[in-house]
Homo-oligomer: A and B are copies of this chain.
């Protein structure tokens, strides 16, 4: 669920960047009272995401633009599918076209990529999750696209989860110290996750009472061993260039989560176009 007011602010900012002092091409060539109608058409197969956002772009610009979608976020669309129809004042439709397509293409690209990862680990009780490697300014939308594609979200911000990495460990002296200090400081509603690179670290994290243990860039065999050591006493997250790994092999190690930065970080937009009649 995307907050409408926040979305309108994102749209406002993005339109301002695109408009400058105004779309002079349209202002000069298109009569004020001209109306157009058109269709958003999928030019590739994939999981759709961003339809409500595209609709919001136009309703932000001009509440009289009529936007009707035939597919919803999360639906699989195929090349040639008519995603939505649009009708309204030409000036309004042309103003929103580029931004609506930018959102639709990018978010559908993320949802599609996530969906592919989710399909790969079918049958395993493991969740595909995202990271903080999102586009500045678009995090909540990109994380929404991950959920739309069947994935789950990791932290939204640095304040809604504790993730102790190597730098924190070295600064605190040890995993044990770091976990103890965090436990003494953060709200009791937050779990504490520790990033580990060796089985020694896994053991220390476990003993220190970490709620979640991240296995960073470990080979599958080592991950398997770590999972056995942890033995359900903490949640386990596999991480590190997962985009390039065999996800089924990772899933088979018994981890609870696989986090993939490339879900939001290396996205090929899904091709979608707006055709006017």
Residues of A at under 8 Å CB distance from B?
1, 3, 5, 10, 12-14, 17-32, 34, 36, 90-91, 94, 98-99, 102-103, 105-106, 127, 129, 132-133, 135-140, 152-172, 177-178, 181-182, 184-191, 193, 212, 235, 237, 256-257, 265-269, 276
Contacts and interface: CB of A to CB of B under 8 A. Distances in A.
Nearest to A25: B162
A1 B105 CA distance: 30
Nearest to A3: B22
A159 B256 CA distance: 22
B162 A20 contact: no
Contact of A158 (B22, B152, B237, B257): B22
A33 B189 CA distance: 28
Given A98-B132, A137-B13, A171 B21 contact: no
Contacts of A152: 187-188
A256 B171 contact: no
A159 to B, nearest CB: 3
Contacts of A182: 24-25, 28-29
Contacts of A30: 167-168, 171-172
A-B pairs, 5 with minimum CB distance = A161-B189, A20-B157, A20-B159, A28-B185, A14-B136
- Residue of A12, A23, A163, A184 with most chain B CB atoms under a 10 A cut-off: A23
Contact of A27 (B22, B34, B161, B185): B185
B133 A136 contact: no
Nearest to A267: B266
30 contacts: A1-B91, A5-B12, A17-B137, A17-B139, A19-B158, A22-B140, A22-B156, A24-B185, A25-B158, A25-B162, A25-B164, A26-B158, A28-B181, A29-B171, A30-B167, A30-B171, A31-B171, A31-B172, A90-B171, A135-B135, A154-B188, A156-B159, A156-B187, A160-B160, A160-B190, A161-B187, A161-B190, A189-B212, A266-B268, A266-B269
